[in-house]
Structures are given as C-alpha cells and as structure tokens.
C-alpha cells in the first residue's frame, strides 16, 4: 500500500542491513505506542492516584484480550499481502486488503457493543479491587467506544508493513500519540472548555486520537495514490470473499488464540496479583509499563522478520530465510539485553516517573522488575523464531508452545513455590515461563517441519480456495504475541 518511493523490496540486498532498516521504523512505532501508554499512566497515576492506576491495569488487559482474535486475522492478512507483494501480484494483495477491512469493521463494531454492555461482569470476574471498580468501569466503557478505530488502524498499519512500507505507520502513530498525550490532562482535569471527566477523560483522549489518526491515514493513502489502495472500481472487494476469508480464518484463528493464551494468562496472573491489594496491583501495573519498553526491540525485529521472510518465500528465495532469522536473533539479543541492563541500573528513576518517590508501591515495583525482567531476553529470541515459522503458515506450533509455557509451566512454578516464596512466586514464574518458551521455539524452528507448511496466496476462485484451506498441513504439530 506504499508508493514505490516508500515500499521497500525485502527480497534483495544485504540481509542484516535490510532487516535493520525495515525494523527501525517499526521500532519507532512501538516506542511511540508504548510512550503513549506510559504518558497516560503518568497522568493517571499523578493526578488520580494508585486506585486509578490499578483500574487502568485491569481494563487494559481486558482490552488486549478482546483484540487478540482480530490481531490473529490481521497477521494472517499481513502474511498474505507480503507473499503477494513478493510475487508482484498487486491484485491479490488488494483482494486481501478488501476482505480484511470489511471483516475487521464488522468485528470491531460488534466487540465494542458487547464489551460496553458486559464491562461490569468482566471486571467482577477479574476480582478487580473494590476501590478501583467504578474507575475501571468508567475507563473501560469509553475505551470500548474507541475499539473500531483502534482495530482498523492496527489492521491498516499491518497491511502497510506487509507491503514493505514501515514509514507511513510511523508517522500516523506519532500523530495518534501526540493527540492522546496532549488531550489526556485536558479531559482528566477539565482544562479550558473541556469537561472534567477524571479517568474517563484519559479514555476519551485515546478515542479522539484513534479516530482522527485513522481518518488522516486513509486520506493520506488516497491522496498519495498508493498502489494497493482500493480504488472506486475495487470497492466491491470490501464484501468479504468467502474462500479468502476462510483462508484468513484458518491461519488467523490459531494466531488469535495465541494472543488469547497470552492475555488470558495475564488476566489469571492479575487475579493473583489483585489478592495482594491495590498497592501491589499498582506496582505491577507500572512494572508492566517498563516491560512494554523492554519488549519493543524484539517485537519490531520479529515483525520485520515476518514481513521479510514472507516476501522472500513469495519470491522463492528460500536460501535467504535462515540468514534473515539468524540476523533477527542477533539483533534481538543485543537490543533487548542492552535494555535489560540499563533498566536494572536505572530502575528507580524510571519507576518514579509513574509513582513518585514516596509511593508505597515503588519498592514493590523495583523488586518485581529485578526478579522478572531478565526473562525478556529469552522471549525476544522466541518472537524472532515465531516470526519466521508463521511467515510460511505454521501457526499451530507457536500456539501449543505458548499454552504449555503460560499454563503448565507458569502455574506449576507458582503453585510449587507459593507457600515459601509468597508473592515472589508470581514474579519468578514470568522468566521461567519465558525460558521454557524459548527452548520449545528453538525445537520448533529446527525440527518442526515448518518449511513444508503452506500459506496459500489469495485464491483465484472458490473451489481452489476450498482446496487450499482443507489441504494446508501443519507438520510441526497437529500446534504468535502487542505482544
């Protein structure tokens, strides 16, 4: 969906340099997105206190979980677009974009309505602390209203990256962050003509930023006449093509379930954390803010590996795939390891940004990050390996691996050590689960048979689409993560 001046050919040139140059704008987008969440957390924590911060932690994990299925379909669409672009098949890429957009709009609207109605019940299932319940409900209901714009924006950005354009998503992520972070204090405190909405003001700022940025990005795509835009004669493509939708569903469902596994595990862990009170929940919340930054380089490299491998598979350049993966692992280790070391050295000033120097949650947050943060070095390797295997349609293997590490491994550590470690059993279960995930991901990459898997191109007709959907095999296991 990028013009030729912006769309990068990922099938030629030096691998390490090409991968890094493509990953950097994606990393920039991740930095901006995480910075946005952190700035909002600072506003909420400083203006409204620990109970409001705990409320946003409960609400945001639920939103992540509800968006998970849609993320899986978006990733499946991205891979199809990348392979089509690698073949030079613009029409197939447009068909994928049309089907994905039409489906996403409907799903996002339904999720927003259902989520708004069921928000109180969801929060009660989470055992949300009583003091945080009204704040979490006010925040969550407004956030649900922003969901259609959020999901469509994510889908469009993923499509752009699949086509080799990582710069355009960066600019419009910057616009969203600028609007959201600027409007947060305006609506929280009621500055100028704006009403004073408290915690709902933070969600209102997010909703406005998402809708404005989505419209601006669509205007830009059409004004620049990007090759993969849907033209007037292509609008019929917004009606989902059933064979293609089936293919996106077959591959996207396991990737969405992967996100469900991650988010449901996070919900379960949050339920355990909530039992230790609002102060511990607030400490856990700000630690998650720092974890978001630690994950960013590996997430960017993993996304770049997926796009780059997908285009090379589409072009038939299998000799480059293992070299792309190797470069991705090296970049992930170096970047994530550096961040872990820096955070270990400077954790106090980083955490004080959210809590202030005299908050009772500060020492708890420092303790959590010291025990658990190092595990993200291992998880970064996992993201790169998963990015490679899923680029050729192997989606069941990562799902099974994540389920094992998030439930049997993590819960096993928690229940085995809870009696003598107390809350530390919670924090220790995170890195141990990440190490287990990495070891299983290495096994999948080396021995999973994912090279024989198949991510089908956009189907030519319905019969071919049915055959491809039914014939696709998963030799790695008959088994992805805003992460």
Q: Give, as one character, the DSSP assignment of residue 456.
A: P
Residue 455 has pLDDT above 90, yes or no: no
* Mean pLDDT on 461-478: 26
Q: Which residues of 24-57 are buried (b: 16+ CB within 10 A; e: fewer)?
A: bbbbbbbbbbbbbbbbbbbbbbbbbbbbbbbbbb
Q: Give, as one character, the DSSP assignment of residue 346.
A: S
Q: Provide the mean pLDDT of the chain.
A: 79
C-alpha–C-alpha distance, residues 140 and 52, integer Å: 12
Residue 162 has pLDDT above 80, yes or no: no
Reported confidence tier of residue 65, pLDDT bands at 50, 70, 90 = low
pLDDT at 5: 42
Give the orientation angle of helix 347-355 with respect to helix 321-345, to 10 degrees: 80
* Alpha-carbon dihedral angle through residues 438, 440, 445, 451, given to the nearest 10 degrees: -140
Reported confidence tier of residue 43, pLDDT bands at 50, 70, 90 = confident
pTM of the complete model beyond 0.85: no
Token duo for residue 479 = 């088994």
Residue from 65, 120, 71 nearest 261 by CA:
65
Residues 6+ apart with CB under 8 A from 2: 160, 163, 164, 165, 167, 168, 226, 227, 228
pLDDT at 17: 85
Residue from 254, 288, 294, 302 nearest 403 by CA:
254
pLDDT at 466: 26
pLDDT at 7: 52
Token duo for residue 145 = 């209203």
Reported confidence tier of residue 433, pLDDT bands at 50, 70, 90 = very high
> Which tens digit of pLDDT belongs to each residue from 332-378?
999 999 999 998 888 888 888 777 677 888 888 889 989 999 999 99
User: DSSP per residue over 35-55, as a string?
Assistant: HHHHHHHHHHHHHH-HHHHHH
C-alpha–C-alpha distance, residues 431 and 379, integer Å: 9
């Amino acid at each position: 969906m990028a013009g030729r001046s912006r769309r990068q050919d990922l099938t030629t040139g030096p691998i390490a340099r090409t991968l890094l140059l493509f990953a950097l704008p994606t990393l920039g987008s991740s930095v901006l997105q995480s910075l946005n969440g952190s700035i909002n957390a600072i506003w909420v924590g400083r203006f409204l206190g620990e109970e409001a911060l705990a409320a946003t932690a409960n609400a945001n994990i639920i939103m992540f979980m509800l968006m998970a299925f849609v993320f899986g379909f978006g990733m499946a669409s991205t891979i199809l677009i990348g392979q089509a672009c690698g073949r030079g098949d613009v029409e197939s890429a447009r068909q994928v974009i049309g089907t994905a957009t039409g489906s996403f709009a409907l799903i996002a609207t339904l999720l927003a309505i259902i989520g708004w109605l069921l928000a109180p019940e969801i929060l009660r299932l989470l055992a949300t602390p009583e003091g945080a319940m009204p704040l979490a409900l006010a925040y969550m209901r407004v956030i649900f209203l922003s969901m259609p714009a959020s999901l469509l924006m994510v889908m469009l950005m993923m499509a752009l990256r699949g086509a080799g354009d990582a710069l355009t998503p960066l600019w419009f992520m910057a616009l969203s962050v600028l609007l959201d972070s600027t409007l947060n204090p305006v609506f929280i405190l009621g500055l100028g003509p704006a009403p004073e909405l408290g915690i709902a003001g933070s969600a209102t700022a997010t909703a406005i930023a998402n809708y404005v940025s989505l419209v601006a990005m669509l205007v830009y795509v059409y004004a620049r006449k990007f090759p993969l835009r849907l033209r007037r004669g292509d609008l019929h493509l917004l009606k989902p093509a059933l064979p293609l939708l089936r293919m996106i569903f077959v591959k996207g469902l396991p990737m969405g379930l992967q996100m469900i596994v991650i988010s449901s595990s996070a919900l379960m862990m949050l339920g355990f954390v909530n039992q230790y009170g609002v102060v511990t929940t607030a400490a856990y919340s700000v630690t998650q803010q720092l974890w978001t930054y630690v994950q960013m380089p590996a997430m960017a490299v993993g996304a770049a590996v997926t796009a780059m491998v997908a285009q090379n598979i589409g072009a038939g350049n299998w000799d480059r795939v293992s070299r792309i993966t190797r470069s991705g692992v090296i970049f992930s280790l170096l970047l994530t390891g550096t961040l872990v070391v820096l955070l270990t050295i400077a954790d106090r000033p980083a955490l004080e940004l959210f809590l202030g120097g005299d908050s009772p949650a500060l020492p708890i947050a420092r303790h959590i990050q010291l025990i658990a943060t190092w595990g993200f070095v291992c998880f970064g390797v996992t993201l790169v390996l998963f990015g490679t295997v899923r680029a050729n349609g192997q989606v069941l293997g990562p799902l099974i691996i994540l389920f094992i590490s998030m439930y049997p491994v993590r819960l096993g550590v928690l229940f085995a050590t809870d009696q003598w470690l107390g809350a530390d059993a919670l924090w220790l279960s995170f890195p141990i689960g990440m190490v287990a995930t990495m070891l299983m991901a290495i096994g999948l990459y080396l021995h999973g048979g994912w090279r024989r898997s198949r991510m089908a191109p956009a189907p030519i007709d319905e019969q071919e689409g049915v055959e491809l959907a039914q014939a696709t095999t998963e030799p790695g296991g008959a088994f992805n993560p805003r992460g």
